Structure 1
Amino acid sequence: MKSNEKSSLEYFNEWLDAFLNFEKMPKKNIFWLDTMNYLCNRFYNPQKEYKCYHIAGSKGKGSVSSYIANILSSAGFKTGLYTSPHILNFSERIRSANNPFPEEIYEQTVKQIVPLVDSIIPENLPNQREATWFELVTLFAFLTFKNAGCSHCVFETGMGGRLDATNVINPEICIITPIELEHTEFLGDTLEKIATEKAGIIKENVPVISFNQKPEVKKVLIEKANEKNCKIYFLDEFLKSYNYEINNLKSDITLEFNNLFSRPINTTLNFLGEFQVFNAALACYACKIINPEITEEQIEVGLSNAFLPGRFEIIKKNDTKKIPTIIMDGAHTKDSVTFTFNTFRKLFNNEGKLLFACAYDKNMDEISKLFFEYNFKDIILTKPGLEKGSNLPYLIECVKKINDNSDKKINLQFDENPQKAIFAAFEQAYNANEPLLICGSFYLLAEVKRLLQTLQVD
């Protein structure tokens, strides 16, 4: 089925290319659950073979998912973790808490999924609608976790919630991270509409844990929870106090809860940024509600083990390769970019250059203002990559408009070729002996990581 030179995941990736990839070519009205339910039924509903934890929101989903998976793993549960997007390796999406599964597990899933899906006659599908790329990847995750013998699995939604491919699971608990304006073409142009889509993961009598949302978002979540007879817990109701300090490029945190815990949680996170305190608190409380037997020590170990690439990831300066200190973060909403800039400034004061790119549907007007608020003097703008739609001319226009009317002038450069922009940013930051912040898109981060791999820089 596959050549000896290719891994199962490489073969599967090539096979997937034949299907619509809405991450590359967004189209309206492609989201519904009928096809996903049909596919799951054909494979005897593998998603019902383990306990599920479901996470939706605009930012922090990946971090919260990783924390939960690692807490469960440290407590002795065989855990599966499904997040998106991947940066370099497809296995980043579908793995155990912190590592890929053995190759034979992925190979087993490929041998199951490819021939059966290929044999399905499109006319037999609901409304004759073929599966999307993301639906097939989600199905692959369901089957892989079953084949790996997982007992607990953590699922991050891809987009929205109500019609997301992951929303065929029956979760033990639902977690809602901060909700912002995003993907407005698909989810709606107001916070209320977007919150309604995210709240679509809430199921009958299933507890809900939520970040402290904006009032209009909180109202939607409470109404949905009441409709589904769910108990909903907001962060400020259960987190009594916290402490956060940066130490040796890691986060030392203390979390004190109002109930469920016999003592405060004290641990060190691999993720940087004060907002990670809140992500960790959501994960702790969710795990403790569903698994009260989990100890504080197991939670501390799990939190300290959690890691995801591209979340304020630091690459140390390499004089041999003339690579500056690089900080990479996938932040792409106004609030998440604000948090990233805040953390960057705490670490490096007013030093540092910025390489930024984002997809066409991001809030470029508001994000552009942040470049000036955080005193970046040198900025290079580019496209997020060859595989992601963008609107670089509009982003440039936004920045130029502010620059022309600002006392804080920015040295603005732009190059629509991501590789050229990355090399220019490397060179300028290294020569100035300044750190380089790269953010705005996981697709841009993938371009950077591929170049660093070519240069043999870890």
Structure 2
Amino acid sequence: MIPKWNSYKEKWNVQSDDVIKPGLTAIEEALVRVGNPENKLQTVHLAGTNGKGSTLTFLESIAKEHGLRVGKFMSPCILDVHDQIQVEGQAISEAEMNLVFQQMQVAGLSGKLTDFELLTVATFLHFVASNVDIALIEAGMGGLLDSTNVVTPIASIIPSIALEHTNFLGDTIESIAYHKAGIIKPYQPVIIGDLPLEAKNIVYEEASKKHASVFELNHQFYVEQEKDGESYVHNDNGLRITKLTRTIKGAHQANNMALAITAFFEVAISLELQVSEEAIQKAVKNATILGRFEEIMPYVVLDGAHNPASAEKLIETIKQEFPDEQITFVIGILADKAVKEILQLFEQVSDCFYFVDFDNPRAMAAHNMLELSNASYKAVLEDYVQFLKRQSARKSRTIVSGSLYLLTEVRSRLKNN
């Protein structure tokens, strides 16, 4: 369920299915009906287990500082469906969404697509209408069979690969990597982060088949620490960007920053742009992302760690940012995630857990999470809004985590209160 999506479907009598149906045939046929807007866009395509959103955010900021008009497509939503489709940082408006729905209705797309496929078509139509210079497209799930995989990008980015969505993508790193590597296109470069060896082998094999260059972190490009929290990124061709200071917290975010800078060099070559070191420095400092170690109110931090790999990164950041503080967790997780493993990781830095129910059909019940927890103090929390306000008032460091869908609900409820 995508908040506010059904209201447009009902208004325009355009039906779509709310289940996941991997495959490209349906969306390819639909895109023909609306004039193949995806072929009119310059794109960068991102897939991976973690780091897509952060890498996209750095890349968006860098592109904007170089004067480009940027569209971005992300999932899941932050508040509702509008913020998944943005141009120049502005969510698609109701009027603009109505325009693309009118186009999709006239094209006869009703009943032919899933919700996410229909949303992908709407995104391409809006980006073309908005005359974006570059469209940053985040895959919804996997890559190979994801509806976004109809683009031929300037570059593809795969920040990380770990086990996820095993019911759709397979239960091995190799099978997951096969799906992620599916976004690699013939003769178009792919930029990759620090991947497990078995995943890296799959990516290189796929890139070789498609004659695609691979730019790998710590092989063709690097990020190094300087003094006073600054860092620099350099590559084997002598390019070097220095004095980089991030607002986005977490040591792992330096890697995502380096991926974005490396990808932007490919964008600049393709669009014949002059790269400015000063613009990159400013962009990196200005880049912020909701739900990534985001302090939503004093002492209350939201972080969308929803699998073991991202949970480990959150723990590293907590240790770095709050080394001597007592941590309280407020947790809500989807039942198809590695819930017990995630909780065991969080228990490394806290012994106080509150579990909450949130509005998602895939959410694990709070009392079931509580049963899986080994924490000394654990409880089911009914009214987390008032609890978070009290925690903030008493200066008690609290981390809300487990699912991006939970973060969406928390942000909305706090805003309404």
- Deviation of the 1:238 alpha carbon: 3.0
Give the Cα–Cα distance (whole angstroms) in 1 for the partners of residues 222 and 191 of structure 2: 15
Distance 1:260 1:148, change over 3 A: farther
Structure 2 counterpart of 1:356, from 327, 331, 334? 331
Alignment of 1:429-440 (within 5 A): 429-430=391-392, 432-440=394-402
- Deviation of the 1:337 alpha carbon: 1.3
Q: Which amino acid aligns with 1:268?
A: T
- Deviation of the 1:133 alpha carbon: 0.3
Task: Report the equivalent of 1:113.
Answer: 104
Task: Report the equivalent of 2:145.
Answer: 163
Distance 1:176 1:139, change over 3 A: same
- Deviation of the 1:171 alpha carbon: 0.9
Give the Cα–Cα distance (whole angstroms) in 1 for the partners of residues 357 and 317 of structure 2: 24
Give the Cα–Cα distance (whole angstroms) in 2 for the partners of residues 265 and 444 of structure 1: 37
Contact 1:261–1:296 at 8 Å: present in 2 too?
no
RMSD after superposition? 2.5
Alignment of 1:72-111 (within 5 A): 72-101=63-92, 104-111=95-102
Alignment of 1:314-325 (within 5 A): 314-317=295-298, 325=299
Q: Could you report, residue by residue, the CA deviation over 1:35-71 in whole angstroms, capped at 9, with x for unpaired residues?
A: 0001110011001112110000001111111222222
Structure 2 counterpart of 1:379, from 334, 345, 353? 353
Contact 2:332–2:406 at 8 Å: present in 1 too?
yes
The percentage of counterpart residues that share the same residue type is 28
Normalising by structure 1, we get a TM-score of 0.82
Distance 1:391 1:197, change over 3 A: farther
Q: How many residues align?
A: 408
Task: Report the equivalent of 2:58.
Answer: 67
Task: Report the equivalent of 1:406.
Answer: none
Give the Cα–Cα distance (whole angstroms) in 2 for the partners of residues 91 and 425 of structure 1: 27
Give the Cα–Cα distance (whole angstroms) in 2 for the partners of residues 10 and 391 of structure 1: 25
Give the Cα–Cα distance (whole angstroms) in 2 for the partners of residues 262 and 32 of structure 1: 39
Alignment of 1:409-448 (within 5 A): 410-415=376-381, 420-427=383-390, 429-430=391-392, 432-448=394-410
Give the Cα–Cα distance (whole angstroms) in 2 for the partners of residues 200 and 105 of structure 1: 31
Q: Which moved more, 1:389-398 or 1:327-336?
A: 389-398
1:227 maps to 2:190 = no
Task: Report the equivalent of 1:20.
Answer: 17
Task: Report the equivalent of 2:309.
Answer: 335
Alignment of 1:256-335 (within 5 A): 256-260=233-237, 262-292=239-269, 293-317=274-298, 325-335=299-309
**Unaligned runs of at least 5 residues, structure 1:** 1-7, 123-129, 318-324, 404-408
Task: Report the equivalent of 1:125.
Answer: none
Task: Report the equivalent of 2:170.
Answer: 188
Normalising by structure 2, we get a TM-score of 0.90
Give the Cα–Cα distance (whole angstroms) in 2 for the partners of residues 34 and 96 of structure 1: 28
Q: Which amino acid aligns with 2:8?
A: F
2:107 partner SS: helix
Give the Cα–Cα distance (whole angstroms) in 1 for the partners of residues 80 and 142 of structure 2: 24
**Unaligned runs of at least 5 residues, structure 2:** none
Task: Report the equivalent of 1:36.
Answer: 27
- Deviation of the 1:432 alpha carbon: 5.0
